[in-house]
Amino acid sequence: MCCRSGGRVGSSSLRPSVLEPPNSEEDDLQKSWKDKLLARRVELLMASCLILVVTLALSIGLGVGLSCVGRFRCGSSSQCVSASAQCDGEVHCDGGEDELGCVRLSGRSSVLQVQRGGVWRTVCSEDWNNWLGVSACRQLGYSRYVESFFVSLTSIEQELQQNLVSISLNQSQIIKLQNTTTLSKTECSSGRVTTVKCLECGSRPQYNTRIVGGNLSGPGQFPWQVSLHYSSEHLCGGSIITSRWILTAAHCVYGFSDPTMWAVHVGLTEQPVHGAQSLAVERIVYHSHYRPKGLDFDIALMKLTRPLVFNGLVEPICLPNHGEEFAAGTMCWISGWGATEGDGETSVVLRSAVVPLLSTQTCNQPEVYHGLISSGMICAGYLEGGTDSCQGDSGGPLACEDSALWKLVGATSWGIGCAVRNKPGVYTRITQSLSWIRQQMEVSASGVRGQGSGGNRSPVLTTPEMLVCREDSGQ
């Protein structure tokens, strides 16, 4: 597989454009001194007006900016609220942004944390019940809840052992966790903390390793891989992260945001599509900070009009948790229908390759990407070239296996050339976009009734009586 993003970044596109000043010498020679004086006065007047306008704009801008220093900004608006108002159980922003993203899963064990008073707090196991588990999953953007686990406090990362909290709920109802009575603690009386599972993900139940060799992918090898078709043609790849959500690259959908023009094909290994599930798209959203001439925030989500049916050949990949990173040298997989050479056609069959993760320091070396790699990106590939992603692979997964679970570490974004020496593939780092992903999913799951993750009905939530909480169970 020699592939990379459909949004290629050639060396010429990295050069800033140069504007040449107009040559006005001939016109000046033809003007009389009176004409010149009048023109000069007009120029000075216009310059003065321009300076005044800029000064006023800067003053207003600085006023708005300074008013938000140390405070919480409500989305992209100029409205700001006190930092302590974020996740306090009351809506202060007009759009309710201050009460979004108040729950997260952290570390390798998926430890549940709730934000309150501007501090992320690890949830103790005492008083925990399945209604709280359902509520947590709803806030994480899922329509279902599988189970809760209780693990030893001393077994989790050191930074998660601070700022503990217990949550109690006396009624059987679905709530926002930050709305409940929370008690800050210096220790958990049970000695255990809560972890939550909202989705069975990251497995390959129908994959037989004897089916395929080389870089040709067999059925079920990458069950989360999707082919995104625009006007009935493969344009980009993507990854299934829930039954309703597909994650891809922003540059795939920017300027092509009409959902009716897109179709998501799942469970296939060959193009054209034969016998695969095909679903329509309900909504497309890309990161608000993405710019088509930039390289950062290259991430987008597609919401399907109806849920996918998981069957072993079609399965979701797990999202990583907050603070969960993968070390340089970790061997991961890339996959897609991208070109097998720089200027070639897209592949008819799904191809894949193993690539090592590279450190940001390595990728920012002068001979590699010379400082272009930000904290929101991750590099993977071989500096000697030879194996890479390419045109048509954009938005597809960079998947890494961790404790028998596959996790989405990156989404194919950009690069210079395909499989070129010192030009490895660059991927959007998923851990840096988790808050944005969760917020989009949460808005959908907990928004207006009838528009949640279950389609044109309320989200499907299994009754807690059918679920279990377990202690000290590895995930």
Q: Is 343 a catalytic residue?
A: no
Q: Is 24 a catalytic residue?
A: no
Collapsing DSSP to helix, strand or coil, 46 comes out as helix
**Pick the catalytic residue: 98, 296, 298, 393?**
298
Question: Is 296 in the same domain as 323?
Answer: no
Neighbour tally for 306: CB within 10 Å: 13
Provide the percentage of residues in the chain whose pLDDT is more than 70: 73
Q: How far apart are the first and last CA of the chain?
A: 33
Contact 278, 271 (CB under 8 A): no
Residue 392 lies in a domain: yes
Residue 189 lies in a domain: yes
Question: Is 331 in the same domain as 381?
Answer: yes
Peptide bond into 464 cis (omega under 30): no
Neighbour tally for 181: CB within 10 Å: 11
CATH code assigned at 288: 2.40.10.10
Q: What is the pLDDT of residues 364-417, one digit of tens each?
A: 999 999 999 999 999 999 999 877 676 668 999 999 999 899 999 999 999 988
Query: Rounded to the nearest 5°, which phi and psi values hold at 343?
Result: -110, 20
Question: Is 141 in the same domain as 192?
Answer: yes
Say how far apart CA 204 and CA 225 lie, in whole Å: 12
Q: Residue 413 belongs to what domain range?
A: 2-7+318-431
Say how far apart CA 347 and CA 170 lie, in whole Å: 57
Contact 429, 376 (CB under 8 A): yes
Residue 26 lies in a domain: no
Dump the DSSP string for 392-453: T-TT-EEEEEETTEEEEEEEEEE-SSSSBTTB-EEEEEGGGGHHHHHHHHHHHHHSSTT-ST
pLDDT at 54 over 70: no
Best CA proximity match to 7, nearest among 421, 413, 381: 413
The stretch 237-262 carries a mean pLDDT of 97
Where among 273, 304, 335 does a domain terminate? 304
Best CA proximity match to 78, nearest among 63, 90, 64, 59: 64
Say how far apart CA 273 and CA 101 lie, in whole Å: 38
Residue 66 lies in a domain: no
Question: In three state form, how does the secondary structure of 297-351 look?
Answer: CCCEEEEECCCCCCCCCCCCCECCCECCCCCCCCEEEEEECCECCCCCCECCECE
CATH code assigned at 143: 3.10.250.10
**Pick the catalytic residue: 229, 251, 265, 287?**
251
Question: Is 328 in the same domain as 243?
Answer: no
Residue 23 lies in a domain: no
Question: Is 364 in the same domain as 281?
Answer: no
Least confident of 19-33, 252-266, 289-303: 19-33
Question: Is 360 in the same domain as 396?
Answer: yes
Number of compact structural domains in the chain: 3
The stretch 84-112 carries a mean pLDDT of 86
Neighbour tally for 218: CB within 10 Å: 18
Say how far apart CA 311 and CA 135 lie, in whole Å: 27
The stretch 35-50 carries a mean pLDDT of 50
CA-based Rg of the chain, rounded to a whole angstrom? 26
Can you say whether the dihedral through the CA atoms of 235, 240, 244, 247 is positive or negative?
Answer: negative
The stretch 93-119 carries a mean pLDDT of 89
Collapsing DSSP to helix, strand or coil, 34 comes out as helix
Say how far apart CA 296 and CA 382 lie, in whole Å: 22
Q: What is the pLDDT of residues 279-337, one digit of tens each?
A: 999 999 999 999 988 899 999 999 999 999 999 999 999 999 999 989 999 999 999 98
Q: Is 394 a catalytic residue?
A: yes
Q: What is the pLDDT of residues 180-215, one digit of tens each?
A: 766 777 889 999 999 999 999 999 987 754 333 347
pTM of the model as a whole: 0.79
pLDDT of residue 463: 36
Residue 214 lies in a domain: no
Question: Is 162 in the same domain as 242?
Answer: no
Least confident of 52-56, 163-167, 189-193, 420-424: 52-56
Q: What is the pLDDT of residues 206-239, one digit of tens each?
A: 775 433 334 777 888 999 999 999 999 999 999 9
**Pick the catalytic residue: 106, 148, 394, 444?**
394
